[in-house]
Amino acid sequence: MTKPSCTNLPAWHGALHLFDGLEISSCVTVHDGEVSFIEVCADPTDAEFWSVYGHYNPELSNGFDGVDCLEDFATEAEARAFAEQLCRQYPHLRSGGAA
């Protein structure tokens, strides 16, 4: 049996040990002149897509208490399924965040 290759892992995979939870947010693209950026929606019914964020544990990340976007999904159900799969594989992610 061949061992699976680890070369196709996403960049955030190496930081999973620094996260203490996951957050799921509805998002929209905001256009301001020539600049576009992503913002969390106040009303989830306005969402263009859903993002799953890893929440950094400040004790493990030099006091940083922010988030990092892991993946974007077309629907909330897809985002929640992804977050649940990560939590099953990495139970420490259930200790914080809002997933």
57 conformational bin, left if phi > 0, alpha if psi -120 to 50, beta if neither:
beta
Model confidence, pTM: 0.81
Handedness of CA 98, 81, 25, 66 (dihedral sign): positive
Query: What's the confidence (pLDDT) of residue 27?
Result: 97
pLDDT tens, residue by residue, 48-90: 999 999 999 889 888 888 899 999 999 999 999 999 999 999 8
Single-letter amino acid code for the residue at 27: C
Domain parsing of the chain, residue ranges: 26-97
